[in-house]
Amino acid sequence: MSEETIEEVEEVAVGEEAVDDDTEPVEEGNEEEILEILDEQLDYIADTAIAALQGILKYFNVGEVTIDEYEGDEGELILDITGDDLAVLIGRHGKTLDALQFLVSAITVRTIGFRYPVVIDVEGYKSRQRQKLESIARSSANRAASQHRSVKLRPMTPYERRLVHIALRDDERVETASEGEGSARHVVIIPV
């Protein structure tokens, strides 16, 4: 998608104005605040995210799709898209899916006024990727602990880095840290 097309999609999905790239991010609340969100608020968040997603999907030639919503392990709202021939929504190495998630999250934040974690998935693609990342994280932690040296993982998106940090947060043998900048940012697993 071109930059102009993305702005058009944002305008249609929001219904008024495009999301500015220089908009300050809304601070994430702590876990207790997220847990205090009432069911009706969660329904409003889900309805907002689904409407934004449907507004964007109109620009893709994917035919009829179903959007299932459910709550993830970390309290996030997961919207899983199912249908025929949805590879175009995933893109090479999940880049299109990452962009789709960014757009839906930005529109949702702008509409509801606060940040709530929304994950967009296509036919369980991110679920499978999550399992792979957790496996890589555990084997890298084993290597870091047994060899008594830090292990650097490949550059990852913020979502992927978060999954690695979560997967290893209860492993007392190692600590995790993110290093680098931009697209080169990666997780380092450090033995304790």
Angle at 16 between CA 15 and CA 21, to 5 degrees: 105
Backbone angles phi, psi at 187, to 5 degrees: -95, 140
Q: What is the pLDDT of residue 36?
A: 54
- In percent, the amount of the chain with pLDDT more than 70 equals 81
pLDDT at 15: 43
Q: Which residue has the tokens 């999301």?
A: 19
Phi, psi of 39 (to 5 degrees): -55, -40
pTM comes to 0.66
Is residue 179 classed exposed, middle or buried when 0-12, 13-18 and 19+ CB atoms within 10 A define those classes? exposed
pLDDT (tens digit per residue) in 1-41: 444 444 454 444 444 333 333 333 444 445 455 445 577 88
Q: Which two tokens stand for residue 89?
A: 């929504």
pLDDT of residue 159: 80
Q: Please give the sequence-ordered ranges of beta strands (E in DSSP) within the chain, or none if there are none.
A: 65-71, 77-83, 118-122, 151-155, 174-179, 186-191
For residue 188, the model assigns a pLDDT of 97
Q: What is the pLDDT of residue 39?
A: 75
